[in-house]
Structure 1
């Protein structure tokens, strides 16, 4: 329903005759009625999610696995991250707050009463990978060696795939390097960091710790 504003009906002329007045047409403002907030039914939400799943099946969002994954040959380490904000790696410089994240120590936790071997630590890592689904991403171990694991994490709706690597460097230290990166896009809404944090929190229950806490 329209509402009428109430401006001044008369305005004064700018001529020298200040006593002369002219009438003006009142200004009318049309107000659009406010629409009530509609709550989306649960069934409609489910249908929208199904539509996204169908779109994800038609247009593949999985991307292609990068060919540079694995332990690098020139300088033994995991690959660095691209400039995009959807990757974290222990191989990055500590000053790179966007991409760097500290490695783990599987014998550094307070709950670890007796040091374990690398083989035992690998078994603990595999158990946590299989039992933990950060953000409901499904893990799939696609490559496993004595000192290296490659896992693909797939999102529940669009089938987006992230590549996560874990590497046990040679030496006496109980260190584990890792890299978590999205295949597509320029940013990840901190999905990779949240994933690594969720895994670390489960590993801490077994006696692991982040090197940043030393």
Structure 2
């Protein structure tokens, strides 16, 4: 009986990891956000090929003020919730309106540059019809309107 229970628990844990965790690493590793997978549903401002590349957001104010402002902007982005934040990193989840697909949205504030590096990637599927790129460009525009 305990062997059957162990097998069932193993299957459950495997399925949980497959269906809840992204297939790539999140966060900052060696001062870089994770690379995009080969699928077109991701953009990143560091080390990206032409298909996945997006420009970082430059700023001229104090880093802490810019970070505060970005958090305020994210608070009004529909269906978006900040799930992790440190002095130099913000991770948010953004859900699609109809099917509630989850995208990971990340921002990195390197200490030696006055830019916000960013990454937005779908957890599932292949194409996002440009949603991740548009989301980050809208955030860029909002921060520009706030004169960061």
State whether TM-score is above 0.5.
Answer: yes
Specify the SS of the correspondent of 1:193.
helix
Q: What are the ranges of 5 or more consecutive residues in structure 1 without an aligned counterpart?
A: 1-62, 108-115, 209-214
Q: Is the 8 A contact 1:149 1:165 kept in 2?
A: yes
Q: 2:39 is paired with a residue of what secondary structure?
A: coil
Q: Relative to total residues, which structure has the larger helix share, 1 or 2? A: 2
Q: Answer 1 or 2: which has greater strand percent.
A: 2
Aligned length: 129
Q: For residues 12-31 of structure 1, what are the structure 2 equivalents within 5 Å?
A: none
Runs of 4+ in 1 over 6 A off after TM superposition: none
In structure 1, how many angstroms separate the alpha carbons of the residues matched to 2:21 and 2:107?
A: 16
For the aligned residue pairs, the C-alpha RMSD in angstroms reads 1.3
Structure-2-length-normalised TM-score:
0.82
Report the alpha carbon displacement of residue 64 of structure 1 after superposing the two structures with TM.
Answer: 2.1
What's the counterpart of residue 70 of structure 1? 27
- Cα distance in 2 for residues equivalent to 1:148 and 1:140: 14
**2:109 alignment partner in structure 1:** 168
Please tell me whether residue 205 in structure 1 is matched to residue 142 in structure 2: no
Task: Provide, for residues 94-113 of structure 1, a one-character-per-residue CA deviation record: whole Å limited to 9, x for no partner.
Answer: xx221011111121xxxxxx
Residue 70 of structure 2: SS of its match in structure 1? helix
Which whole-Å deviations, capped at 9, do the CAs of 1:27-47 have from their partners, x for residues lacking one? Answer: xxxxxxxxxxxxxxxxxxxxx
CA distance in 1, matches of 2:44, 2:64: 23
